[in-house]
Amino acid sequence: GQQVMQIPQYQHVQEGEDFTTYCNSSTTLSNIQWYKQRPGGHPVFLIQLVKSGEVKKQKRLTFQFGEAKKNSSLHITATQTTDVGTYFCAGSDGATNKLIFGTGTLLAVQP
Partner 1 sequence: DTEVTQTPKHLVMGMTNKKSLKCEQHMGHRAMYWYKQKAKKPPELMFVYSYEKLSINESVPSRFSPECPNSSLLNLHLHALQPEDSALYLCASSQDWSSYNEQFFGPGTRLTVL
Q: Which of 48, 56, 60, 108 binds partner 1 (CB under 8 A)?
A: 48
Calculate the CA 98 to chain-centre distance: 17
Smallest distance from partner 1 to CB 16, Å: 26
CA angle, corner 73, sides to 25 and 53, nearest 5? 85
Q: Which of 16, 18, 50, 51 binds partner 1 (CB under 8 A)?
A: 50
Give whichever of 15 and 26 is closer to partner 1, judged by the CB atom. 26
Calculate the CA 99 to chain-centre distance: 13
List phi, psi (to 5°) of 83.
-80, -5
Binding site for partner 1 (CB under 8 A): 30-31, 33, 41-45, 48, 50, 88, 91-92, 94, 96-99, 101-104, 106
